[in-house]
Structure 1
Amino acid sequence: MVAIDIAFQVIFISQTGMGTLGNSILLGLCIFRFLTGHKLKPIDILLTHLAFVNTVVLLSKGIPQTMAAFGINNFLDENGCKLVTYFHRVARGLSLCTTSLLTGFQAITIKSRSSRWAGFKAKVQKLIIPFCFLFWALNLLTNISVYVYIRGPRQSNNATERQEFIYCSFSHVSGHISIFAIVTSLLDLGCMGIMVCTTISMVLVLQRHHKQIQYIHSNNFIPGDSPETRATQAMLQLVSIFVSFYMLNSIMACYMCFFKPNPWIVYTSAFLASCFPAYSPFVMIMRDSQVLRYCMTFWQKIKLLSLHCP
């Protein structure tokens, strides 16, 4: 058991630290682009929003779970448990909604070669910020039930009423909470459906376009080096990571709602919940040559400043 605790301590610290670093790089590059006078594109706004909410997901889940893994279980009172859990649930929902909007916008961008889709893309660009505000309103409202069923640690010895979540506890309450759960589930399923459908559409378009331009390339052409292939692989990787970890985490979360979980189940669920926020920024950085170019520019400016400083 001690070996498992040590393993999860290392995992949570590494995951939270690296994930926060990756999202901070994305967020910092978008802010750097804005401060240097460049006009932010809709894709930049979505990446900035996604990096911000992913950072909140990591910090609101990773820090409490890391402290719990070190044996510090009573560091939050009931209000603290409610607030931390609420932040995590809202940020998790926003991450899902923003990712689905991002894949949808990319699908429209790829199809915008035709005049019909080009006009639709122009309309969607104007709705990016309103959609973000709508996502915030929906997630803030649908997760308000957290303040009803989340309690402080070890508030009751009755196992039929509350299940321990290491540093907080869960209270079984019927009635209006089920309505919030249904609305949240429908919102999550809708976003997942949009994400999967748009990604499949993008993959089909890119593969068809790749076949059409194959004759243009020389005999030395390597399929793995084409922009179409790289974009297809990156989108498949991003959505596969999200869907896989989201489904596994949802299954474990449902189990913990009805049964008293073992600590390793709680730790594993927390790890799965933070996998996409931790890994997605690195996928987006590596697939986007523009982001890599900004990284190089930013690094060169830092070197120049260090040379001029005494």
Structure 2
Amino acid sequence: MEASELSVAMIFLSLTTIAFLGNFSLLQHYMFVYLMRYRLKFTDWILMHLIIANILTVLTKGVPQTIVTFGLNNLFNDVECKLMTSLHRVSRGVGIGSTTFLSVFQAIIISPTDSRYSGLKINSHKYICYSVYLNWVIHFLISSINLVHMRAKYGNESTENLKSFLYCYASRHDQTSDILYAAMLSAPDILFLVLMLWSSGSMVVTLYRHKQRMQYMSRSNVSSRSSPETRATKTILLLVSTFFTFYTISSICQLLGAVLYNPGWSLVHVTAMASLLFPAVCPFLLMSHDSRVSSYCLSWKISRQFSKASDQELN
């Protein structure tokens, strides 16, 4: 294995390991809160779906890509190729959908009582809940297209009529068909991105107006600390902006890979890396801005160290 190939393999291994451990820790935290019968915030419930989508992305993109970069080729059969690519499409769609719903819900919650969206506050939980589950169903249906196009390579079969994605292959079509296929898969994502930008813009405007009102109030009547709603909104805005940046990079790479007749080795690797960036960063953004998660992770780490010390004393 050359030095460049080893470097790429180590990058994939690092991203996959960091993303899996970070998201699994967060999922463990929310499941602990749920099982202890504490009341989960509705934003936490949406974040659970986002975390599950991140874990699914790691398992269907990070793990196989890491295996292939270490030189273990042709390990997957037809069923495994179809399953991994379909589930990756589902995780990608659920990820953007969950981030969008999180942004829309927060924009509705912090909207002023006299705004046009104030009437949505009462039933927003119900609408968002249905939308999250519907998002899973829709992307499962969309991803079924991959069951037809994706396949494995058989022995010494020629790849002249196949488009290589390293561990799986897709049947080649004319450029017009590839463009239509990419446009069809991108249509729901574009809708979600528009909603995400609208809701994020609404939150920024609401925060700005709130800050302007605070400047006209007496300092004695205003706390120096921001409200929990404001802190939560800023965290969600940071999460959304990070997702939007990484998702845009990933989408451009995937679009090039779908349109190009023979995507190169570098493009395939960059596309896979881009899809792993947000799952790797997301849990640490939430941990650093959510004191509940930080305190849980710290207490869990302390308890683990204490139990290890106790076991050593007993031995």
TM over 0.5: yes
Supply the distance in 2 between the matched residues of 1:294 and 1:98 (Cα, whole angstroms): 23
- The aligned residue for residue 295 of structure 1 is 297
Deviations 1:191-230 (A, max 9, x none): 0111111111111111221232245558xx99xx856886
State the Cα distance separating 1:67 from its structure 2 match. Answer: 0.8
- The aligned residue for residue 39 of structure 1 is 39
Q: Relative to structure 1, is the Cα distance of residues 256 and 117 closer, same or farther in structure 2, using a 3 angstrom cutoff? A: closer
2:15–2:280 Cα contact (<8 Å) kept: yes
Instruction: Please give the residue correspondences for 1:62-211 in structure 2 after superposition, counting only pairs within 5 Å.
Output: 62-111=62-111, 113-114=113-114, 117=117, 119-153=119-153, 156-159=157-160, 161-173=161-173, 181-211=182-212
Supply the distance in 2 between the matched residues of 1:25 and 1:48 (Cα, whole angstroms): 11
- The aligned residue for residue 55 of structure 1 is 55
Instruction: Please give the residue correspondences for 1:7-18 in structure 2 after superposition, counting only pairs within 5 Å.
Output: 7-18=7-18
2:76–2:167 Cα contact (<8 Å) kept: yes
2:87–2:143 Cα contact (<8 Å) kept: no
State the Cα distance separating 1:279 from its structure 2 match. Answer: 1.0
SS at structure 2 position matched to 1:127: helix
2:81–2:152 Cα contact (<8 Å) kept: yes
- The aligned residue for residue 268 of structure 2 is 266
1:103–1:199 Cα contact (<8 Å) kept: yes
State the Cα distance separating 1:49 from its structure 2 match. Answer: 1.0
State the Cα distance separating 1:113 from its structure 2 match. Answer: 4.7
Deviations 1:261-291 (A, max 9, x none): 2222211110001111221121122222332
SS at structure 2 position matched to 1:132: helix
- Letter of the 1:81 partner, please give it: C
Supply the distance in 2 between the matched residues of 1:186 and 1:149 (Cα, whole angstroms): 19
- The aligned residue for residue 213 of structure 2 is 212
- Letter of the 1:17 partner, please give it: T
SS at structure 2 position matched to 1:170: strand
Deviations 1:138-190 (A, max 9, x none): 0011111101111113675253x311111111113579998765443211000
1:56–1:91 Cα contact (<8 Å) kept: yes
1:73–1:153 Cα contact (<8 Å) kept: no
- The aligned residue for residue 248 of structure 2 is 247
Q: Relative to structure 1, is the Cα distance of residues 230 and 7 closer, same or farther in structure 2, using a 3 angstrom cutoff? A: farther
Q: Relative to structure 1, is the Cα distance of residues 240 and 115 closer, same or farther in structure 2, using a 3 angstrom cutoff? A: closer
Q: Relative to structure 1, is the Cα distance of residues 106 and 232 closer, same or farther in structure 2, using a 3 angstrom cutoff? A: closer
1:285–1:291 Cα contact (<8 Å) kept: yes
- The aligned residue for residue 22 of structure 2 is 22
- Letter of the 1:3 partner, please give it: A
State the Cα distance separating 1:97 from its structure 2 match. Answer: 0.7
State the Cα distance separating 1:259 from its structure 2 match. Answer: 2.7
Q: Relative to structure 1, is the Cα distance of residues 308 and 277 closer, same or farther in structure 2, using a 3 angstrom cutoff? A: same
1:149–1:173 Cα contact (<8 Å) kept: no
Question: Percent same amino acid at aligned positions?
Answer: 33
- The aligned residue for residue 277 of structure 1 is 279
State the Cα distance separating 1:42 from its structure 2 match. Answer: 1.4
Deviations 1:72-104 (A, max 9, x none): 111111211111111111111111111100111
1:249–1:273 Cα contact (<8 Å) kept: yes
Q: Which moved more, 1:149-158 or 1:50-59?
A: 149-158
Q: Relative to structure 1, is the Cα distance of residues 207 and 5 closer, same or farther in structure 2, using a 3 angstrom cutoff? A: same
SS at structure 2 position matched to 1:32: helix
SS at structure 1 position matched to 2:40: coil
State the Cα distance separating 1:127 from its structure 2 match. Answer: 2.9
TM-score by length of 2: 0.85
SS at structure 2 position matched to 1:163: strand
State the Cα distance separating 1:64 from its structure 2 match. Answer: 0.7
Which 5+ residue runs of structure 1 have no aligned equivalent?
none
Supply the distance in 2 between the matched residues of 1:303 and 1:158 (Cα, whole angstroms): 53
Which 5+ residue runs of structure 2 have no aligned equivalent?
none
TM-score by length of 1: 0.86
Q: What is the Cα-based RMSD across aligned positions, in Å?
A: 3.0
Q: Relative to structure 1, is the Cα distance of residues 267 and 147 closer, same or farther in structure 2, using a 3 angstrom cutoff? A: same
Q: Which moved more, 1:69-78 or 1:209-218?
A: 209-218
- Letter of the 2:291 partner, please give it: S
1:162–1:171 Cα contact (<8 Å) kept: yes
Q: Relative to structure 1, is the Cα distance of residues 268 and 135 closer, same or farther in structure 2, using a 3 angstrom cutoff? A: same
How many pairs does the alignment contain?
305
2:9–2:70 Cα contact (<8 Å) kept: yes
